A and B are shown apart, each in its own frame.
Chain A
């Protein structure tokens, strides 16, 4: 994922070290340290306390985590996050890849098609949630699609709305990858008489690892943040059937008046993000090594 890695070496500025540059760098480092290092550490530290409404509770060790991982609501939330992440990832990549291939087939009015696929991405999750809540309304909505009132299906309604909002951007990202594929590869495949679909599947897509990794990380990052869509679409119901971790944190902090529990849950979310990033870093390193070996 080039945007997030030092893909190109920075080129040190010739000449004297600029005091301005030093100043900007120092300010940036200070702010980044405060917000993205100290703040999370503060939260992690306070997840070991029994804080209720104010962050001044006594030390309780890992008790908050014990409660967290025995709480049915948290377990449901984590399960829902998994369903959502898998659904969104497979759906967005599958739909995105399919649409990108179709758009790549030298079609008429490509700009129009692209615009239509991408516009939901401009809308907020609150708007998306309310629109789908109305579409899936059990009384007036689309017949046969009353997903949201069924606890077993409601989370799939959330996935559907999420896909509608986010699959277009994935399609466009993959399209950008397809357009960057060298024409010679297509010419060679054609000369060898390889069918177009085989060329895509076995030659072109394997070359898009970078773009696909970017899309994967973007989709997963947005999945973990899932909050507004659920609040607007289902409010977490029916029952607890569409609760998600981000909402658990918010409710614990401000509704249950149990800050310690909220901090513990947010620490778990942080851990999850770190694991995903670590996997991705390893993947990038591994792909880089393979390239070097060739």
Chain B
């Protein structure tokens, strides 16, 4: 993969001072990027008294996990004091089917778009590009009517459908370009061996699709987990995803605002995409930096 190879020629081996400057600059920039995370973590570990008395950047003198427990299971919105946990499970129940369905459908679409030319496929291509960038506000109200027509408004099913439909354009284009970039002989050979429509797709193409699948998964997992707009418009309190519940809990202040609980809740909500990123980030970067996106 390109990213792991270092071109020798312009590496500038000789000038030591320059290399020190590069490393120091990068380190300083990285500290700036890490600052919000650091602040969130230390705030979430401090008791409220320490937050009021101490400095934002100070390390916790008496670290406590109580805010985390509160954020997870007892923080209140109105009378329901169940914390973020219900939102977490809703998000999981939305995420898993949405991601699997959209990747499955988009890869199939991409396969057809890449290898069959039919009347109107250029138009379809243009519509998909448009769909990848359309501002969702234009679709909000018709989408409400569609879900009402299907009788699934407010259900998790409805949210899954919205995520799958609106994720399709970008993913379809991603797969189509990946497939179009594969050596044609590969497919021809499979056809000669007697593989049919599904044979080529499942046995020849899919095993080669790990990098593009990694990119698609990453895009969808972070995109769907982090969604707020669809959650707030298309769900109801029992089906609210974690982001909406987070916003709710942080804004439902009873008496004094508990910044440590707010920050613990914020971190917990960010944890899933962060974990996915830590585990699968390398694959994602490889896919991104190899052919998958640059076509």
Give A contacts to B, CB under 8 Å: 2-4, 6-15, 17-18, 20-22, 24-25, 28-29, 31-33, 35-40, 42-44, 46, 55, 99, 102-103, 105-108, 111, 113-128, 130-132, 134-135, 137, 140-142, 164, 168, 172-173, 175-176, 179-180, 183, 186-187, 189-190, 196, 199, 210-211, 214, 217, 221, 224-225, 227-228, 231-232, 245-246, 249-250, 253-254, 259, 262-263, 265-267, 269-270, 272-274, 276-277
Contact with A along B256-290 (1 / 0, CB 8 A): 00010011001101100110111001100100110
- CB A230 to nearest CB in B, in angstroms, measures 11
Could you tell me the distance between the alpha carbons of A128 and B113 in the complex, rounded to whole angstroms? 37
Q: A124-B225, A127-B226 are in contact. List 12 more A-B contacts (CB 8 A).
A: A14-B191, A25-B121, A35-B139, A39-B142, A46-B141, A107-B19, A116-B30, A119-B33, A130-B263, A130-B266, A164-B33, A250-B137
B25 on interface, CB distance cutoff 8 Å: yes
Would you call A116 and B127 a contact (CB within 8 A)?
Answer: no
Q: Report A-chain residues with C-beta under 8 Å of the C-beta of B133.
A: 217, 221, 273, 276-277
B207 on interface, CB distance cutoff 8 Å: no
Instruction: Using known A-B contacts A7-B177, A199-B10, A249-B137, determine if residue A127 contacts B266 with beta carbons closer than 8 Å.
Output: yes
Would you call A35 and B112 a contact (CB within 8 A)?
Answer: no
Q: Report A-chain residues with C-beta under 8 Å of the C-beta of B116.
A: 10, 12-13, 17-18, 21, 25
Would you call B120 and A29 a contact (CB within 8 A)?
Answer: yes
B173 on interface, CB distance cutoff 8 Å: yes
Give B contacts to A, CB under 8 Å: 2-3, 5-12, 18-19, 22-23, 25-26, 29-30, 33-37, 39-40, 43, 51-52, 56, 108-109, 112-118, 120-122, 124-125, 127-143, 165-166, 168-169, 172-174, 176-177, 180-181, 184, 187-188, 191, 196-198, 222, 225-229, 233, 243, 246-247, 250, 259, 262-263, 266-267, 269-270, 273-274, 276-278, 281-282, 285, 288-289, 293-295
- CB B173 to nearest CB in A, in angstroms, measures 6
The residue in chain B whose Cβ has the minimal distance to the Cβ of A123 is B270
7 A–B pairs (Cβ distance < 8 Å), ordered by A: A10-B113, A36-B127, A36-B169, A123-B226, A135-B39, A214-B293, A266-B137
With a 10 A CB-CB cut-off, give which of B2, B135, B289 has the most chain A CB atoms. Answer: B135
Instruction: Using known A-B contacts A140-B51, A224-B135, determine if residue A31 contacts B165 with beta carbons closer than 8 Å.
Output: yes
Could you tell me the distance between the alpha carbons of A119 and B274 in the complex, rounded to whole angstroms? 7
Instruction: Using known A-B contacts A43-B141, A124-B269, A131-B40, determine if residue A24 contacts B112 with beta carbons closer than 8 Å.
Output: yes
Could you tell me the distance between the alpha carbons of A46 and B265 in the complex, rounded to whole angstroms? 40
Could you tell me the distance between the alpha carbons of A20 and B200 in the complex, rounded to whole angstroms? 12
Instruction: Using known A-B contacts A105-B22, A126-B269, determine if residue A43 contacts B138 with beta carbons closer than 8 Å.
Output: yes
Q: Report A-chain residues with C-beta under 8 Å of the C-beta of B7.
A: 179, 183, 186
Would you call B276 and A39 a contact (CB within 8 A)?
Answer: no
Instruction: Using known A-B contacts A107-B23, A225-B136, determine if residue A123 contacts B273 with beta carbons closer than 8 Å.
Output: yes
The residue in chain A whose Cβ has the minimal distance to the Cβ of B244 is A126
Contact of A125 among B181, B228, B259, B274 (CB under 8 A): B228
Q: Report A-chain residues with C-beta under 8 Å of the C-beta of B222.
A: 121-122
Would you call B36 and A10 a contact (CB within 8 A)?
Answer: no
Could you tell me the distance between the alpha carbons of A173 and B176 in the complex, rounded to whole angstroms? 20
Instruction: Using known A-B contacts A6-B125, A231-B247, determine if residue A107 contacts B273 with beta carbons closer than 8 Å.
Output: no
Contact of A277 among B108, B130, B136, B246 (CB under 8 A): B130
Q: Report B-chain residues with C-beta under 8 Å of the C-beta of A259.
A: 141
Q: Report A-chain residues with C-beta under 8 Å of the C-beta of B138.
A: 39-40, 43-44, 266-267, 269-270
Q: Report A-chain residues with C-beta under 8 Å of the C-beta of B169.
A: 32, 36
Could you tell me the distance between the alpha carbons of A187 and B10 in the complex, rounded to whole angstroms? 7
Could you tell me the distance between the alpha carbons of A25 and B261 in the complex, rounded to whole angstroms? 50
Could you tell me the distance between the alpha carbons of A11 and B184 in the complex, rounded to whole angstroms? 7
Could you tell me the distance between the alpha carbons of A181 and B214 in the complex, rounded to whole angstroms? 24
Would you call B112 and A25 a contact (CB within 8 A)?
Answer: yes
Contact of B25 among A13, A22, A25, A102 (CB under 8 A): A102
Would you call A7 and B295 a contact (CB within 8 A)?
Answer: yes
With a 10 A CB-CB cut-off, give which of B33, B117, B124 has the most chain A CB atoms. Answer: B33
- CB A113 to nearest CB in B, in angstroms, measures 5
Instruction: Using known A-B contacts A28-B112, A123-B270, A186-B9, determine if residue A130 contacts B250 with beta carbons closer than 8 Å.
Output: yes
Contact of A103 among B26, B127, B136 (CB under 8 A): B26
Could you tell me the distance between the alpha carbons of A270 and B29 in the complex, rounded to whole angstroms? 36
Would you call A263 and B141 a contact (CB within 8 A)?
Answer: yes
The residue in chain A whose Cβ has the minimal distance to the Cβ of B262 is A130
Would you call B129 and A105 a contact (CB within 8 A)?
Answer: no
Could you tell me the distance between the alpha carbons of A270 and B198 in the complex, rounded to whole angstroms? 38
Contact of B135 among A116, A168, A173, A273 (CB under 8 A): A273
- CB A193 to nearest CB in B, in angstroms, measures 14
Q: Report A-chain residues with C-beta under 8 Å of the C-beta of B168.
A: 31-32
Would you call B112 and A99 a contact (CB within 8 A)?
Answer: no
Would you call A32 and B22 a contact (CB within 8 A)?
Answer: no
Instruction: Using known A-B contacts A3-B293, A228-B229, determine if residue A55 contacts B29 with beta carbons closer than 8 Å.
Output: no
Would you call B177 and A127 a contact (CB within 8 A)?
Answer: no
Could you tell me the distance between the alpha carbons of A254 and B144 in the complex, rounded to whole angstroms? 12
Would you call A107 and B26 a contact (CB within 8 A)?
Answer: yes
Q: Report A-chain residues with C-beta under 8 Å of the C-beta of B197.
A: 18, 20-21
